[in-house]
Structure 1
Amino acid sequence: MSSSSLILFNKPYGVQSQFRDDSNNDHTTLSEYFTDKSLRIAGRLDATSEGLLILTSDGRINKAITQPPSAKNFAQNKLKQGKTYLVQVEGVATAAQLNELASGVVLKDGKTLPASAVLVAEAELPMTLWQRDPPIRERKNIPTSWLMLTIYEGKNRQVRRMTAHVGLPCLRLIRWSVAGFELGELGVGEFVRIHLNSGHCQQLGILD
């Protein structure tokens, strides 16, 4: 694995997690940022979500990141790969709502696996927020708050559906980390290539 690498990319709002535009809309694609056709996306983000997107040409890395643990062996799976999101929601989460998110909510495609859900002040977020373009739509006299939500699977639009289910509509969604790799202070549209060492391989559960 000494020659293997992955790319950490801070995906801007409005960019599709694909290289080819086949939707006949105005969204930008990854081809505006990358020309290497061997790259594959390890865990997509929808166009209206922002933050960490991992790309790699190594199938083992992709599988290690994207293959979630089954519900049956979740508690015993030491290699489960979490994805942490910073979620701005409408309203202020109660202890009951946080507990429901953490315990798992029942969506149309099944119950979500146990997660971690914490209410955080904007000043305590692990990164410096950038101005989103376009800005979020806030309703007058209705407060907003931030959650730090870690999940261990990848159902379609899962985080948005989870928060909506407990009565906290999602206004902004930023992925902060995937499988131990963090966004850090990467600027919007910036990326960095990480060459994997033995520690990274162990982190991903890949034999060197």
Structure 2
Amino acid sequence: ELSPRAGTSALFDSFAHLASDQSPWNHTLVAWTGEVDEIVTKRAPLQPVSANGVNAVTTAPPPVNKASAPIPVDLSTSQAQTSLEGILVSTADRERLERQLKSSKYGKILPIWATAESDEPSDDILLQDQSRWRRYAERELYPLLHYKQNGPSDGRSERKWWTDYMRLNRLFADRIAKTYQAGDITLFILLHPRARI
């Protein structure tokens, strides 16, 4: 399921216009997938109804704290386990997404799969700590470009963020170089997650 980030409708409308029959331009968007989330497809079962039409739900004992509420748990089904290791994206899922993005209403989109492993993932990939790709831009570049001074530090975190930032930029450069043809115009649009267009 694809969803654009809130506050970027003008940007996406301009991409849709470039992809329309009204525009003479042929364009390709190279973009990071963003932080991939798992889709929860499991729905809670309906509550049983008794013969008189009233819900036949047993009541839980009142909470000790009046401000708290009990968390309903259906013990008949297994509970979803949140993976602390990351999200596993299969090769089939990546190929399906890439086919879907090649003919979107915004034009041809080539996704960047930011992983800590190889540049060209050929097997299933594990997306871990996905916000790490934004840390240098958010914690170093954004404050710098908005005249905000960071507090003193020993620089260890910044070096790690810089390494991730350079890796993501290299993934972009490699993907662009692979699709670039002589005469192409390359436009870079860098957005901060809180940026509004």
Shorter-chain TM-score: what band? under 0.3
Q: Which has the higher contact order (CA 8 A, sep 6+)?
A: 1
Larger radius of gyration: 2
Q: TM-score, normalised by structure 2?
A: 0.27
> Counting helix residues as a fraction of each chain, which structure ranks higher?
2
> Counting strand residues as a fraction of each chain, which structure ranks higher?
1
